[in-house]
Chains A and B, each alone.
Chain A
Amino acid sequence: MDLFGKTVTQLRDLIKNKKVSSTEVWDYFAKRSKKYNKDLNVFLAMPEMEPDAEKGELSGIPLAVKDNFCTKGVKTTASSHVLENFIPPYESTVTLKLKKAGSRLLGKTNMDAWAHGSSTETSDFGPTKNPWDTMRTPGGSSGGSTAAVAAYLAPAAIGSETAGSIRQPASWCGVVGLKPTYGRVSRYGVIAMGSSFDCPGPITQSVEDAALLLQRITGKDPYDATSSDVPVPNYTFEMKKKRKFTIGVPKEYMKDLDPEVEKKVREAISEFEKMGHTVKEVSLLDPKYSISVYTILQRAEVSSNLGRYDGVRFGTNRDIFGKEAKKRIMLGTYALSVGYYDAYYKKAQQIKTLIIKDLKRVFSEVDLIMAAPTPTTAIKLGEFEKYAFFGETMDKLNEAAAVAGTPAISIPCGLDSNGLPVGLQIMGNYFDEGTILSAAHQFEKETNFFDVIKIGREKYRD
């Protein structure tokens, strides 16, 4: 049977109905991954043999997992030489839950080292290439995971966001990327970047798959004190509800965009209007505030989180930290130093509160907020060097949700004149992933914008 392009949901049903064996599925993806990895540099580690798997809803489903999730017995580097030889003695909660649901680890995907970046180019193991155009970056930091899904090396992948690291590469690779509410998914075993922002999430070819995977990885975790005990709804059920929504479009988020990106995003939003949803313009704090707040808080946390890699227990020497990590450690250390704490860290926390208030205010008027996930489509490899705060600029439209901890998704909404995918970002209120999934699913079913995914993977058909 031709498995090409099958979603997780479809593969699951095929396996369940014995139309295909899980070994066939494993071999299919293992072969493809090996074949295309040379060109795309997606995987850092791949198991040699088909791993044993438990029985569950995801029985036989191979998944690609970003290399910052600790996987017991499988090398986990966060794409840094510092952790080159680190084989975790324990499993992250997310990957443990997926394992228990029956899925198999297909491989660990490349990322920006320590998740510092938005192009997967700060990886110490070379950049991942964008499957749409291998001269371009897939975005990042979950670029390996989004590229794996875009080229169909894996039917779905797990990524993580601190601010935009799922949504931005999902948009540049033309796939679905969901960042859940902070605390909705456990961070235990995810190598920390910005602890108060980090958020694991699914990267998929369909909204249905996003709902399916989210269901499996979500929930209160006794190993993560910041994980939430808000009850978890049935996401597939919520997704299928055909509700009509009030959608807010923040005018501050529609400026300074690449004109083609703006056009596609506006077209997509007007599709929603045609589908019977109400669209209205709203006003949010200028994203530039999110950039400053996010940068300071994240750098502070980075400088603290990376302290343990002092060469005593991990790696051989702190010199092997890459340039980006060093810059972040220095800035964060500075921001936390005596005499500067109040001016930077504390101030940023205060503005964070304002951003939360601002989003809550708008969500009292609308169900969802729509905007672009990133101002441009995928840029050329190496181009990021031109920007002083490349990631922060590329992710400025993602940062409010990251800072506030609200959920958001990026879904495909067309191609630009270079044939590169454009994404649409749908933001929701706290713990309201169900509403986001419902809107995204309606768009997926009632328009043909999701054809982008098919187009993207086509050149990787064997």
Chain B
Amino acid sequence: MKNNKYTPVIGLEIHVELKTKSKMFCQCDADYFGKEPNTNTCPVCLGLPGALPVPNRKAIEWTIKIGQALNCTINKSSKFDRKHYFYSDLPKAYQISQYDQPIAVNGELRIDNYELENSKKYRITRVHLEEDTGKLTHSGVDSLVDFNRSSVPLVEIVTEPDFDNSEDVKKFLEELHTIIKYLDLSDANMEEGSMRIEPNISLSIITDKKERMKNLPKYKVEVKNINSFNFAKRAIDFELKRQAKILDDGKTPDQETRGYDEDKGITYSQRSKEDAMDYRYFPEPDIPTITFTEKQIEEIRKTIPELPRQKMQRYIDDYKLKSDDAFILTRSVETASYFEKVISNLIKNESDLNIGKQSIEQAVANVIVNKRIPTSGTVKKFIKAFKVMFKKITVDFTELDKVIAAVISNNPKQIEQYKAGKAGILGFFIGQIMKEMKGQAEPQEVKKKLEEKF
């Protein structure tokens, strides 16, 4: 939403649960989904007296990987901190998180046009690692807590307040989601809550971007735990309207945390500034500082696969794909890899195929994007279907003439109809002839011949 008076100022916090084998600080299974409550726990993730956290190395490396994929600087030395607050799903009364030395800082993510100069850049402030909490369920007067999720590794990605519209937020989130899926380190499943979004939203009266960033609005509203990109967009749009109305009345919206009601499509107040928490951060004494050498960091970088934007660029540059097709194909790593498997196989017998002037890659892309052959089957099946679809035609003209003559004489009724002016009946003849020819004829050629005959 953009109206004349105000420009939106939107920043994002995104939580991504990692799918490591074990939890962040203990050896319990990190895959808690669907398990019977409190069966996936141990002294550490229950915060029992005397239990100590031991950080999961894989989770740290994966966070570095996310940081690298988001073009961040990786801190060679980072540490964990305790973030204190009381809540019944937080067994230690503090969450082990990262405060002033996160794993990665100062990154960027680009959306829209694949060409660098024409794309939109959004700055990433930091990427840090923390532990998830347990889960509360309320039923009647009882509140039940399940610690199966407690201490599952959670990566928090924080952006600068660079967004000025909800559409870009949605595109950014989709791009980020795709990258995470490419990195194959999280299910990033929105419904199961393994990716959660918290936009913070305010409105500025300053139109110049530089000036606006220097003088951010004096308030911001954070909307908590949104689990769909569309909800994020809707929540933002709702907030922008709500805040504009308050500003129009000459007031300033309250700095607060709000929830999002998916059914009603509205946000509602949860916690005001007066209740703002002092988390009393201090360095986690149970975990020594984590250090990485340049070499180790580079080794991790080597494990990053080709990311969607790079892939898209390669498809356009090397395969001469239309950028729309390249975009669609690279949205999911599965589709892209399916596409690549198909073309690597077909490239060998390109000359046997009737694809016209387009590249074989563009032909395959077309078929996949337009769903002309389903990609749900095996690559082998797809290729078979593709070869049939694009088989080179060798026309036996003597045979064709014979067939045309036969079809005409076998269908006198239809000829009557044609002569009576029903031109559409021509299609019937073409179909019959193509069938008799087992596809070995050009429909256009057949049409021409028929018209001549009639």
Contacting pair A301 B285 (CB below 8 A): yes
CB closest chain-B residue, reference A349 = B283
Interface core residue of A69, A304, A345 (most chain B CB under 10 Å): A304
Q: Assess whether B207 is interfacial by the CB under 8 Å rule.
A: no
Q: Assess whether B54 is interfacial by the CB under 8 Å rule.
A: yes
Contacting pair A191 B47 (CB below 8 A): no
A223 to B287 Cα, complex, angstroms: 11
CB closest chain-B residue, reference A306 = B93
* B residues near A338, Cβ cutoff 8 Å: 278, 280
Contacting pair A307 B86 (CB below 8 A): yes
Which B residues from 261 to 309 make CB contacts under 8 A with A?
Answer: 278, 280-282, 285-288
Q: How far is the CB of A386 from chain B (nearest CB, A)?
A: 32
Contacting pair B54 A222 (CB below 8 A): yes
Q: How far is the CB of B423 from chain A (nearest CB, A)?
A: 81
* A residues near B92, Cβ cutoff 8 Å: 307-308
Q: Per DSSP, are chain B's interface residues mostly helix, strand or loop, or mixed?
A: loop
Q: Assess whether B406 is interfacial by the CB under 8 Å rule.
A: no
**Interface residue count on the A side (C-beta < 8 Å):** 40
Contacting pair A223 B50 (CB below 8 A): no
Q: How far is the CB of B159 from chain A (nearest CB, A)?
A: 24
A18 to B155 Cα, complex, angstroms: 59
Interface core residue of B48, B50, B281, B288 (most chain A CB under 10 Å): B50
A195 to B92 Cα, complex, angstroms: 14
A88 to B49 Cα, complex, angstroms: 8
* B residues near A459, Cβ cutoff 8 Å: none
Task: Pick out which of these stretches binds chain B: A100-108, A127-135, A182-190.
Answer: A182-190
Interface size range on B against A = 20 to 34
Contacting pair B49 A78 (CB below 8 A): yes
* B residues near A68, Cβ cutoff 8 Å: 50
CB closest chain-B residue, reference A339 = B278
Q: Assess whether B82 is interfacial by the CB under 8 Å rule.
A: yes
Q: How far is the CB of B242 from chain A (nearest CB, A)?
A: 30
Q: Per DSSP, are chain A's interface residues mostly helix, strand or loop, or mixed?
A: loop
- Assuming A90-B48, A195-B285, A312-B88, is B94 touching A304 (CB within 8 A)? yes
Q: Assess whether B253 is interfacial by the CB under 8 Å rule.
A: no
Q: Assess whether A70 is interfacial by the CB under 8 Å rule.
A: yes
Q: Assess whether B259 is interfacial by the CB under 8 Å rule.
A: no
Write out, one digit per residue, whether chain B residues 44-71 have a CB within 8 A of any chain A CB (1) or not (0).
Answer: 0011111111110000000000000000
CB closest chain-B residue, reference A188 = B52
Neighbour of A190 across the interface among B46, B50, B288, CB < 8 A: B50
- Assuming A304-B82, A304-B282, is B49 touching A191 (CB within 8 A)? yes
CB closest chain-B residue, reference A189 = B50
CB closest chain-B residue, reference A314 = B49
Q: How far is the CB of A352 from chain B (nearest CB, A)?
A: 12
* B residues near A303, Cβ cutoff 8 Å: 280
Q: Assess whether B43 is interfacial by the CB under 8 Å rule.
A: yes
CB closest chain-B residue, reference A90 = B43
* B residues near A70, Cβ cutoff 8 Å: 43, 48-50
Q: Assess whether A341 is interfacial by the CB under 8 Å rule.
A: yes
* A residues near B50, Cβ cutoff 8 Å: 68-70, 88, 92, 187-192
Q: Assess whether B217 is interfacial by the CB under 8 Å rule.
A: no
CB closest chain-A residue, reference B88 = A312
Contacting pair A307 B84 (CB below 8 A): yes
Q: Assess whether A337 is interfacial by the CB under 8 Å rule.
A: yes
Contacting pair A345 B282 (CB below 8 A): yes
Write out, one digit per residue, whether chain B residues 214-230 have a CB within 8 A of any chain A CB (1) or not (0).
Answer: 00000000000000000
Contacting pair B49 A76 (CB below 8 A): yes
A225 to B24 Cα, complex, angstroms: 13
Contacting pair B286 A225 (CB below 8 A): yes
CB closest chain-A residue, reference B54 = A225
Write out, one digit per residue, whether chain A residues 215-237 have a CB within 8 A of any chain B CB (1) or not (0).
Answer: 00000001111100000000000
- Assuming A76-B49, A312-B88, is B43 touching A336 (CB within 8 A)? no
**Other than the known A195-B285, A336-B280, what 12 A-B pairs have Cβ atoms closer than 8 Å?**
A90-B42, A187-B52, A188-B50, A222-B54, A225-B54, A225-B286, A225-B287, A304-B282, A307-B93, A307-B94, A308-B93, A338-B280
Which 5 A-B pairs have CB atoms at the shortest separation, nearest pair first?
A307-B93, A336-B280, A196-B285, A195-B285, A189-B50
A–B pairs, 27, beta carbons within 8 Å: A70-B50, A88-B43, A88-B48, A88-B49, A89-B43, A187-B52, A190-B50, A192-B50, A195-B286, A223-B52, A223-B54, A225-B53, A225-B287, A300-B282, A303-B280, A304-B82, A304-B84, A307-B84, A307-B86, A307-B94, A308-B91, A308-B92, A336-B84, A336-B280, A338-B278, A341-B280, A345-B282
